[in-house]
Amino acid sequence: MWYELSDFINLAAAILMEQVISIQNLTVLYKIKGIKTRLHKAVDGLSFDVARGEVFGFLGPNGAGKTTTIKVLLGFIKPTEGVARIFGINTQEPIARQRIGYLPEQTDYYQFLTAEELLWFYAKIFKIPKAEARLRIDSVLKLVELDGVRNKLIRTYSKGMQQRIGIAQALINEPDLLILDEPTSGLDPIGRMKVRQIIQRLKNEGRTVFFSSHELGEVETVCDRVLILAEGKLRAMGSVAELTTKYHGNLEKAFLEIVGWHE
């Protein structure tokens, strides 16, 4: 794989500026087939940066373009226009994904495996040496509080436990950036609290966490900054305190006003 000089210049600039994510004028068009094929603009001229060590909330109603943006960050789809970079490298380059951990919205792991077996599987994918993998598996299982049930089948786990083993697999390669898509979806209050605690611990370790969520109370608690997306466009961005002060209420009130929802 060949890399342009500009890739290494961007990488050096990102390190100096401590930018982990940089999205510039991102636009993604989809073809919608019907009686007549038409184009749908899922993301429309989106630009933002995420700094090293931030917990960044990526918010928006259904259909706002959040998942499409995450797919661009992961290199799953190509932008129609603009560019997305992680650690200064274009996300279309495989090297950009080496420092990422990812938790999809729907976690569907091999139910016949135990938690420990699942993590060994992912460790092999990342070609982590056996001795190092053993240490990492012990570490992430303790972090997500599943060490005591590491030898139980995943099919016996609750929804919250399965979500936490999902976070554990996302951490097995010791990523500098963790991308979480709806990490607290469908969890009870205790499950949400445990995920929130994990995110806080990762922040304390200097990791960067980028996550999409509809649980605005969780976002308000853990995020340094948030971005609100609607119809593919950036509608607002700033700290929770800035947004709640500007819109004279909590984050939910600010969110509803920003996306234009009215009773």
- pLDDT score recorded for residue 9: 56
Backbone angles phi, psi at 89, to 5 degrees: -105, 135
DSSP codes, 114-129: BHHHHHHHHHHHTT--
Domain boundaries defined on the chain: 57-78+95-259
| Tens digit of pLDDT at every position of the chain (263 positions) | 455 666 555 555 545 457 899 999 999 998 877 667 778 899 999 999 999 999 999 999 988 999 999 999 999 999 999 999 999 999 988 777 778 999 888 777 778 899 999 999 999 988 999 999 999 999 999 988 899 999 999 999 988 888 889 989 999 998 999 999 988 877 888 888 888 888 888 888 888 999 998 888 888 888 999 999 999 999 999 999 999 999 888 898 899 999 877 55
- Residue range 57-78+95-259 in CATH 1.10.510.10: no
pLDDT at 139: 93
* pLDDT score, position 14: 47
